[in-house]
Structure 1
Amino acid sequence: MAVELCLLLLLCGSTISEVQPIYKPPPGTLDFGFVPAKTYDTGAYHEPGPIGILFKIVHSFLYLVQPNSFPQDLIRKLAQQKFGNTQGDYQKPENVVLTLQAIYYEIGFIVTAALGLLFILLLPLVGLCFCMCRCCDNCGGEMHQRQKKNADCQRSCFATFLFVASLIISVGVLCAYAANQHLTNQVRGAKKLVNSNFKDLKIFLNDTPAQIDYLVNQYNTTKDKALSELNNVGPLLGSRVQEQLGKEVHPALDAALTMAGVKVERAIKAIRETKEALENVSVSVEVLQEGTERLHANLTDVKMHLNNTLSDSACSAAQTASTCNIIRNSLNQLNINANFSGLPGVSSQLAKVNDVLKIDLSSLVQKGYAAFNDTPDLVVNQTRNILSDIKTVLESIGSNITTFTKTLPVQNILADLMVSLTQSEAYVQDYFPVVEQYDFYRWLGCLILCCMVVLILVFYYLGLLCGTCGYDKHASPTTRGCISNTGGNFLMAGVGFSFLFSWVLMIVVVLTFVTGGNIEKLVCEPFEDKTLFKVLDTPYLLNQDWKNYLSGILFKNPNINLTFEKVYSDCKENKGIYTSLHLEHMFNIEEFLNISMYTEDVALKIEHIQINLSKIILLDEIGKENLLNFSSSGIEGINFAAYLTEINKSVTKVDLLSFANDLEARADQLVKVKNVISAVNAAQLLINNNASLVIVQETKKYMDTIVGYFEQYVEWVKESIAMEVAACKPIANVIDTAVDIFLCSYITDSVNTFWFGLGSSSIFLIPAIIFAVKLSKYYRRMDTEDVYDDTENGNNGYHKEHLYGIHNPVFTSSVEQW
C-alpha cells in the first residue's frame, strides 16, 4: 500500500511548466468496497437486572459517606511523594499536609469504620457484662415481674418494635444473600464472557492480515482505472487537444466554406450563381446593343416618314399649321438617350470564375477537417511508446506493494501476540476451576454469615410467634403456659446469639465496607468518567524517569505523547490500532509511501510525451490559390454605376437593375475571401507553432485525472488504516470486561450490597436485643410474682390478700434440671 502513492508522485512529478493556471478536473470516484471485518461477540455492558435497584441504593449511601469528587491531585501527589521508613520523613510538612488531605477525603469512611470498630469492641463487652449482670439476678435476670397497669401496652409495643426490627434485619439479610448469590452466578457465567473476549481477540488478530491483503489488492482497482485511462488516451487526451485547438481551427475552416455567413453548401452555390449572373449580364449587354441599333434605325425611319407627312399641303392650312409645327419640333426627341455600346464587358471576370469552379474547394476544406479530426489517432500513435513505459511502471508497482507489505513486522507481531493469547487463554481456562472453587468457599462463608443472622431471626420470630399465641392475659406470671414460656426462651436465645455473632458480622462488614467502598469511589467511578486515565497519564507518575509510561513500555521512548485515555477512547470508538497506539513510531507507513526514487524517472517519461500536429494541413496551396483566384476575379472592378446610369435613362426589355444588384452582392462577398485565407493561415500557424502549449496543458489535465485516482486510493488506504484495519474494539472490551464488569459490576457492587445488607442487619440487632429482653419478661414464667390484698386488684384480674412473692416449685424444679 506504500507504492500506490509512488505512482501518484510519479505522475505529479512532471516538470511541465504552465503558462496559466490549469483547472484540475475532478476524477471519478472509485469504489474500493468495504474492508472485510467480522462482528465482535462481546457486549461490554452489564445489566444487573432487578438487583440493580439495590446497587443504586448502595451507591447513594456511599455518596452520603463520601460526597467528595475523585481526588486527582491528591493521588498524584501521594504517588509521587516519597515516604521513608524513618519517622522524620512522615513528619515533614509536605507529608503531613498530604496525610491530612487524605484523612479529610476519607473522613466519611474513617468515621463509619470507627463506629463499626466501636460496635465490634463494645458489643461483646456489653454482652459479657449483660450476661454477668443477669447471672446476679440483675438486668432482668431476676425471675420476678412487677405488676404494672400498662403492662399489656408495653408488651404490645415491645412485640411490635421487635417485629419491625426483625423485618428490617430480614430485609438486610435477604439483600446480603441476593448479593452473595448474584456474585456467584456472575462468576459462574463469567467464563462465557471471558471466552467471548478471547474469541474477539483472535478475530482481531486473524482478520488483520486479511484486511491488509484487501488494501493491497484494491490497488488493482486503481491500476485498472488508470490503465483504462491510458488505453483511451486518444479519445481522452486527443479529444481534449482537438477541442482546445478547434476553438481557432473550426472558425477558420468554416470561414473558408462560408461567404458572409452562408454555409458550406450554399457557398459553392453562391459562386455558381455569380457565374450565372455574369453570364446573364454579358448576354443582356449584347441584346441591348443589338436592340439599340434596331431601335435607332426604326426611329430614323419614323422621323423620315413624319417629316414627309408634315411636308404635305394639309399642314399649310392656317388651322393646322401650328399643330404641325409643334409635331415637327418634337421630332428631335426621338433620339436614343442610352448608349449601351459603351458598357464594359465582363468576359474576363467570367473566365476567372469558371477557372475557380473547375477546382472542388469543398473537398479541399473537408480534407482539412478530416486531418484535424484525426488528432486522437495521431495522439495514440505518437504516445504509444511513452504510455507503454508508464503501464510497465504501473504493473511493477503492484508487485512492489506486495513486497513492501511483507517487509512490515506486522506478521511477526501478530504471530507473537497470537501465541501469547493462546497461552493466556489456556492459563485462564486452567485457572478458572480454581476461581470457581474459591468462589464456592467465599459463597459458603458468606452464606454462613447470613445463616447466623437467620438463626437469630428464627429465634426472634419463634419467640414472637410462641409468645403471642401462648400468652394468656388472665394467667399470672407464675402460671403462664408452656408455649408462652418457650417464646420468651426463644427471645433470650436470640439475644444470646446476637451477642455471640454480631461482632463477627461487623468485622466482615467493616472490612468489606472499607475495601469495596474505596474501590467504588477510587476505581469504578473515575473509570466510568475516565478521570482514572488522567491520573495514570500523569507524567513521571508510574515511572519517575518516563514522561509517558505507555509509550515507554511499547516503544522504549517515553517522549511520545501516547496516553491511556487516548488509547482507550480510540479503541472504544473502534478505531484502527495503528492510529490508537501511534504505531507509526514502530513502523511508519508514510516511509513506505515515499517513492521519490521513482519520481525523477517517471517525470522524464512524462516530459517526453510530445505530440506533433504539424502534419495536419487545414487547407493546401491549391485551395488557397483557388480562393485567391476567386478573390482576384475582378468582379469587384465592374463599373456597376455605368450600368445603372444607362438603365435609368430609359425603359428596356431586360431588368439590368436586378442583375446589377446581384453582382454587387457577390462583390461584397468576394472582398472577404482574403480574410478567410488569413484566418486559415492563422489556424495553421497555431497548429504548427503554438499547439505544444495546448498539448502541455491538456496533458497535465489528463495526468491530473489519473493522479486523482491514486490520490483517492492513498486517502482510502490511510482512512482505512486509521479507522477500519485492526479495529481495536476488543482491547477496549477487555478493559471494560476486566474493570467495569468483573471488578465493578460483578465484585464491587455485589460486595458493597452484601456489606450494606449485612451491616444494616447487624446494626438493627441492637434494638432487637433490647426489645427482645424487654419482651421476654412478659412471655416467660416467673418464679415469683406480686400478690395484692383483698382491697387491691392485680392487673391480671385476680385478688390476693397479701402482697408477697410466691415461690413457683414447678419452674424451680425445671430450672434445676437444666
Structure 2
Amino acid sequence: MEPGARAVPATLHTLRKNIDSIPQGVQSVVEQFSVPRQQIISDLNNVSHSIGFTIHSLLKEQVYSVLEAIQGRAQDLQNSLHHLQILHKTVRTLTHFQDELGLALRDRKESTVSLLDSPHCTSCARALGKAQSLEPGADYSRVPSVEQVLKTLSGLPKANFPDLIDQGNSTFNSMPDLAVAKMAQVVQDLKDEVNKVSKKVQSIADSFPVSDYTQPLNDALMQAENKSRPYLQEVKHYEKYRWIVGIVLCSVVLLVVACNLLGLSLGACGLAMREDPSDYESRGEAGAKFLLVGVGFSFLFSWLLILLVFATFLVGGNVQTLVCKNWANQEIYKFIDTPGNLPPSTNLTQLLNLKRTLNLTSAYQECKKGAGLWDVLQLRDAYDLEDHLHLSQYTRDFQKRLDNFNLHFEEIHFLDGAGRRDLETFRQSGIDQLDYPMFQAEMQNPVVRTSLEDLARDLEGLRKIQRNITIAGRLANESQALWKIQNATVLTQEALVVKLNESVQFLSAMAPHLQLLLKQTMAEIALIETMLPVQAQRLLRHEIGCFTRKELGYFSQYLNWVRRTLTEDVASCQPLATALDNGRVILCDRIAEPWLYCLRGDLSLPHPPRYSSQAIGRGLRHLQDSDSR
C-alpha cells in the first residue's frame, strides 16, 4: 500500500505543476519574439546601406559608360585640336620650305644640266635625265586649309572635363551614403514599430484564457494533494500495524508447522526406539501432545486467516473486476458518459467545459494522442486565437511606413553648360568635312621628283672618270651642293611630312565617326540624366518591396509558430491522460493486483492438519497397548 499511496500526491503534484506551467509556457512563447525582433532590428541597421549599394551596383554600368563616353569625347576634342594645330603649323612650314627648295633646285638644275650637257663631260648623258627632274614634287599650297576649323575651336575646351567627370563620379558613388542619411529617420520609426509589436505580442499571453479553465482544476488538484498527504501519513502509521499483524500471523503459522513437525518427529522417533518401553511411551506421548497443540492452534487461528483471505479477495477481486478491467479497456469512461449512470450534478463534460462534440471518452482519447486543451476545451468560443494572431494587426503600421517612404535622389548633371557648348562647337566645327584624301594624295608625292642622293652619287661617280679636271671639279661642286640641299632642306621636309601624315591619319580616322559619336554621347548623357532618378526610384521601390516581404516573413513565421505551439505543445492535455493512466497503475497495478497475485500463488496459507480426534484417540490407545506389552 505504501508505494501506491506515496505515488498519489506525487502524481497530483506533477499534474498540478504541468497545469501551472501553462501560463509560464505561454509567456515563454511570447518572449521568443525576441528572436525575430533581433533579426529585424539587424536587418534595419543594414537596410539603408544595402539599398543604396544595390542601386549603385545596378546603375553603375550605365553611369560609368556615360562618364567614359564624356572622357572619350573630351579626349577626342583635345587630340583633334592638337593634331589640327600640328597640321596647320606643319603645312605652313612645308610651304615655306617648299619656296626655298624651289629656288635652290632651280639654280642647281640650270647649273647641273648645263654641266652634264657639255660636250666635255664624259658619259654624262645618263645623269642628264635626273638633273632635268630637279623640281619640287609636292605642292603643299594646294592642301585644304584648316585655319577656319582652328578658328572655330579656338579657346576650347572651356569646360574642365576632368573636374566634371570627377564630380559626376563622386556624386554617383555617394548614393549608398545618401541612402543611409535619407533613410535614417524611417529606420528609427520602423524600430519603434517593432518595439510596439513586442507589446502587442505580449497581449497574447495576457489575454490567453487557458488559466480560467485550468484554475478550478488546479485548485481541485491542490486540495486533493493536500488531503492525500494525511492519508499517506496514516498509511505509514498503519504500515507498522501491518508488519506487526503479519509477523504475528506468520509466527502462528510457523508455530503450527513447528508443532506438527515436532509431533511427527517425536512419534516417528518413539516408534523407532520401541525396545525401551519407557522411552517409547514418553516420546510418543510428547509427539501426540505436539500434534494436539498444532491442531488446536490451527483451529484457533485458521478462521482469522480465512476471513483475511475472504476480505482481500472480496475487495481486491471486485476492484480488479469492476474498476481496473473497465478502466484498462476504457469502459469506465463510457459508463461515466452514459446519461443516468451518474447524478446530473456530476456531469463531467459540463464540469470540465469540454467541447460539445466531445465526451469524457473521446476527450481522453484525444489527450492520449497529444491533443491540446485548445481542441478539447471550449476555448474557441471564449478566445479567437486567429484574431489575435492575424498578421495584419502586427505589421500594418510597419508595412505602411515602408510603403509611404519615398527617397528623392538628387539630379546628377554629368555636363554643365560650358561642356555641352564645347562638344556642340566640336561637332559643328567642320573637322569632319576637311578633304583628307587630298592631304594624303599630296603627301604621297616626293619632296623632289628625283632623288638628290642618287643624283649626287652619280655626279661623284662621273667625277672620277672625267679627264677634264675643270669638269671634274664642277661635278664635285654640284654633288656637294646637292648633298647640302638634301641634308638641310629635303630631310627636314620629309620629317615634317611624316609628322603631318600622323596627324592626317588620326583626323581622317576619327572624322567619319565624329558626328555619330558626339550625337550618341549627347543622347546618352541626356537619357541617363533623365532616367537615373526614375530608375533609382524604381529600384528603391523594388528593394523596399523585397525587404518588406522578408521582414513580414519573420512576423508570419513567428505567429505560425505561436499558433502551433499554443494549440499543440504549451496547452497540451496529454498530462491529464497520463495522470489518469497513473491513477489506474496506482490503484490496480500497485494495490489491487498484487493482493490477488499474492493470494492466488505467492502466499502459502496454513491448513489444518489432516488428523481427527478419533485418529488421535486410536494413536493414544495404540501407545497404551504397546506400553502394557
Above 0.5 in TM-score?
yes
Q: Are 2:352 and 1:554 equivalent residues in the alignment?
A: yes
Q: SS of the counterpart of 2:172? A: helix
Aligned counterpart in structure 2 of residue 472 of structure 1, from 242, 256, 272: 272
Q: Number of residues paired by the alignment?
A: 572
Q: SS of the counterpart of 2:220? A: helix
Q: Are 2:49 and 1:235 equivalent residues in the alignment?
A: yes
- C-alpha change, 1:627 and 1:446, in structure 2 (3 Å) is farther
Distance in 1 (alpha carbons) for counterparts of 2:402 and 2:211: 38
Alignment match, 1:363 = 163
- C-alpha change, 1:232 and 1:411, in structure 2 (3 Å) is same
The answer as to whether partners of 1:386 and 1:608 remain within 8 angstroms in 2 is no
Distance in 2 (alpha carbons) for counterparts of 1:606 and 1:332: 93
Alignment match, 1:696 = 541
Specify the structure having the higher radius of gyration (Cα): 2
Distance in 2 (alpha carbons) for counterparts of 1:338 and 1:553: 124
Alignment match, 1:279 = 85
Instruction: Note the C-alpha offset of 1:237.
Output: 3.5
- Between 680-689 and 460-469, the greater mean CA deviation after superposition: 460-469
Instruction: Note the C-alpha offset of 1:304.
Output: 0.5
Q: SS of the counterpart of 1:570? A: coil
Distance in 2 (alpha carbons) for counterparts of 1:291 and 1:681: 49
Q: C-alpha deviations, 1:232-276, integer Å up to 9, x for none?
A: 55324344444444454443334433x4xxxxxxx8666544443
Instruction: Note the C-alpha offset of 1:755.
Output: 0.8
Q: SS of the counterpart of 2:141? A: helix
Q: Are 2:531 and 1:686 equivalent residues in the alignment?
A: yes
Q: C-alpha deviations, 1:169-224, integer Å up to 9, x for none?
A: xxxxxxxxxxxxxx45x25xx44x45544554554455544444444445456456
Instruction: Note the C-alpha offset of 1:704.
Output: 1.9
The answer as to whether partners of 2:370 and 2:568 remain within 8 angstroms in 1 is no
Q: C-alpha deviations, 1:299-356, integer Å up to 9, x for none?
A: 22222012221343425xxxx5xx4444434444333332222222344445566644
Tell me the TM-score normalised to structure 2 length: 0.73
- C-alpha change, 1:440 and 1:314, in structure 2 (3 Å) is same
Q: Are 2:504 and 1:706 equivalent residues in the alignment?
A: no
Amino acid at match of 2:407: I
Instruction: Note the C-alpha offset of 1:364.
Output: 1.9
Q: C-alpha deviations, 1:737-759, integer Å up to 9, x for none?
A: 4222x224421343133213466
Q: SS of the counterpart of 1:558? A: coil
Distance in 2 (alpha carbons) for counterparts of 1:360 and 1:249: 19
Q: C-alpha deviations, 1:340-377, integer Å up to 9, x for none?
A: 22222344445566644331223223333343344456
Alignment match, 1:748 = 592
Alignment match, 1:807 = 625
- C-alpha change, 1:560 and 1:381, in structure 2 (3 Å) is farther
Instruction: Note the C-alpha offset of 1:564.
Output: 0.9
Distance in 2 (alpha carbons) for counterparts of 1:256 and 1:464: 133
Q: SS of the counterpart of 1:334? A: coil
Q: Are 2:98 and 1:292 equivalent residues in the alignment?
A: yes
Amino acid at match of 2:538: L
Instruction: Note the C-alpha offset of 1:406.
Output: 3.4
After superposition, residues 395-544 of structure 1 pair within 5 angstroms as 395-403=195-203, 405-410=205-210, 412-413=212-213, 416-436=216-236, 450-451=250-251, 453-463=253-263, 465-467=265-267, 472=272, 475=275, 480=280, 482-483=282-283, 485-487=285-287, 490-491=290-291, 494=294, 505=305, 509=309, 512=312, 516=316, 532-533=329-330, 541-543=337-339
Alignment match, 2:458 = none
Alignment match, 2:135 = 335
5+ long unaligned stretches in structure 2:
448-493
Q: Are 2:364 and 1:564 equivalent residues in the alignment?
A: yes
Instruction: Note the C-alpha offset of 1:707.
Output: 1.8
After superposition, residues 153-164 of structure 1 pair within 5 angstroms as none
The answer as to whether partners of 2:391 and 2:559 remain within 8 angstroms in 1 is no
Q: SS of the counterpart of 1:335? A: coil
Alignment match, 2:411 = 615
After superposition, residues 222-261 of structure 1 pair within 5 angstroms as 222-223=36-37, 226=40, 229-230=43-44, 233-246=47-60, 248-257=62-71, 259=72
- C-alpha change, 1:556 and 1:521, in structure 2 (3 Å) is closer
After superposition, residues 53-68 of structure 1 pair within 5 angstroms as none
Percent identical residues: 24
- C-alpha change, 1:426 and 1:365, in structure 2 (3 Å) is same
Alignment match, 1:590 = 386
Aligned counterpart in structure 2 of residue 312 of structure 1, from 95, 118, 125: 118
Distance in 1 (alpha carbons) for counterparts of 2:428 and 2:323: 105
- Between 695-704 and 390-399, the greater mean CA deviation after superposition: 390-399
Q: C-alpha deviations, 1:681-730, integer Å up to 9, x for none?
A: 33333234454433322121121232233234324434543566467676
The answer as to whether partners of 2:69 and 2:521 remain within 8 angstroms in 1 is yes
Instruction: Note the C-alpha offset of 1:559.
Output: 0.8
Q: SS of the counterpart of 1:748? A: helix
- C-alpha change, 1:334 and 1:241, in structure 2 (3 Å) is same
- C-alpha change, 1:667 and 1:539, in structure 2 (3 Å) is farther
More helix per residue: 1 or 2? 2
Distance in 1 (alpha carbons) for counterparts of 2:271 and 2:368: 68
Distance in 1 (alpha carbons) for counterparts of 2:238 and 2:406: 83
Tell me the TM-score normalised to structure 1 length: 0.58
- C-alpha change, 1:556 and 1:784, in structure 2 (3 Å) is closer
Alignment match, 1:739 = 584
Amino acid at match of 1:641: P
Alignment match, 2:495 = 653
The answer as to whether partners of 1:481 and 1:781 remain within 8 angstroms in 2 is no
Alignment match, 2:437 = 641
Instruction: Note the C-alpha offset of 1:509.
Output: 4.7
- C-alpha change, 1:373 and 1:628, in structure 2 (3 Å) is same
- C-alpha change, 1:337 and 1:784, in structure 2 (3 Å) is same
Amino acid at match of 1:300: R
The answer as to whether partners of 1:288 and 1:340 remain within 8 angstroms in 2 is yes
Q: C-alpha deviations, 1:2-51, integer Å up to 9, x for none?
A: xxxxxxxxxxxxxxxxxxxxxxxxxxxxxxxxxxxxxxxxxxxxxxxxxx
Instruction: Note the C-alpha offset of 1:279.
Output: 2.9
- C-alpha change, 1:417 and 1:310, in structure 2 (3 Å) is same
Q: C-alpha deviations, 1:82-105, integer Å up to 9, x for none?
A: xxxxxxxxxxxxxxxxxxxxxxxx
Q: C-alpha deviations, 1:467-520, integer Å up to 9, x for none?
A: 566662664999735345534554565567667766875675576568657866
The answer as to whether partners of 1:277 and 1:663 remain within 8 angstroms in 2 is yes
For the aligned residue pairs, the C-alpha RMSD in angstroms reads 4.7
Distance in 1 (alpha carbons) for counterparts of 2:324 and 2:408: 76
Distance in 2 (alpha carbons) for counterparts of 1:484 and 1:752: 42
